[in-house]
Chains A and B, each alone.
Chain A
Amino acid sequence: GNSVTQMEGPVTLSEEAFLTINCTYTATGYPSLFWYVQYPGEGLQLLLKATKADDKGSNKGFEATYRKETTSFHLEKGSVQVSDSAVYFCALRGGGTSYGKLTFGQGTILTVHP
């Protein structure tokens, strides 16, 4: 079956530091890959996505590249802000699966200090 593994958290950084959150996956076929962000007390918001190998998703300074050879979709940001503090979830949707059926990683808590 499908699965997603994220790096263990929590991650604590100073403002303007570089961020990497690792994500690897196992899936059959050609999945689509996503990063969602969850702010305290809120639901999930789609941060970025990639639907095929070598695609790069980007949004709000965050980037992730779909690497089929390493089955990875690592999230990066060059300079984090305090407002980026949240929980980040990597997720996949299996090929041919309906839009909303996703497999999530366990989440990584990010705290950014001024």
Chain B
Amino acid sequence: NAGVMQNPRHLVRRRGQEARLRCSPMKGHSHVYWYRQLPEEGLKFMVYLQKENIIDESGMPKERFSAEFPKEGPSILRIQQVVRGDSAAYFCASSPPAGTDTEAFFGQGTRLTVV
């Protein structure tokens, strides 16, 4: 059973370009969470999604950031018109449906560098 898969592992974008980060949850997991880790800081929750639904986006910046988890395919975190301050590691986690006694599992992250 493969773990949470994120790609790419490293992404370099010039200021003003778009960044697309992908996350494939573990098999059987229908809930996805995105976190951002700024240099020398802890992880900050961004958004929680289920298939075709955004459940909680309280941590998402109001502009330029969006997330989706379509019926088919991976979850996508999209950052438009990137700026240097977007440089960070972005982690995805997945968990099974509620009611199962387990925890969320994290991917290895995508390290975004904006130049």
Measured CB to CB, the residues of A under 8 A from B are 4, 34, 36, 41-46, 49, 89, 98-107
Measured CB to CB, the residues of B under 8 A from A are 4, 6, 31-33, 35, 40-45, 48, 55-56, 91, 93-96, 98, 102-109
List B contacts of A104 (CB < 8 A): 35, 42-44
CB-based contact B102/A99 at 8 Å = yes
Assembled-state Cα–Cα distance A101/B48 (Å): 7
Nearest residue (CB) in A for B95 is A99
CB-based contact A98/B42 at 8 Å = no
Nearest residue (CB) in B for A45 is B106
CB-based contact B45/A101 at 8 Å = yes
Given A46-B103, A101-B45, 4 other A-B residues pairs in contact with their CB atoms under 8 A: A34-B103, A46-B105, A103-B45, A106-B42
Known: A44-B91, A100-B95. A89 touches B106 (CB 8 A): no
List B contacts of A102 (CB < 8 A): 43, 45, 104
CB-based contact A105/B42 at 8 Å = yes
Assembled-state Cα–Cα distance A4/B98 (Å): 24
List A contacts of B41 (CB < 8 A): 106-107
List A contacts of B106 (CB < 8 A): 36, 43-45
Nearest residue (CB) in A for B108 is A43
CB-based contact B43/A89 at 8 Å = yes
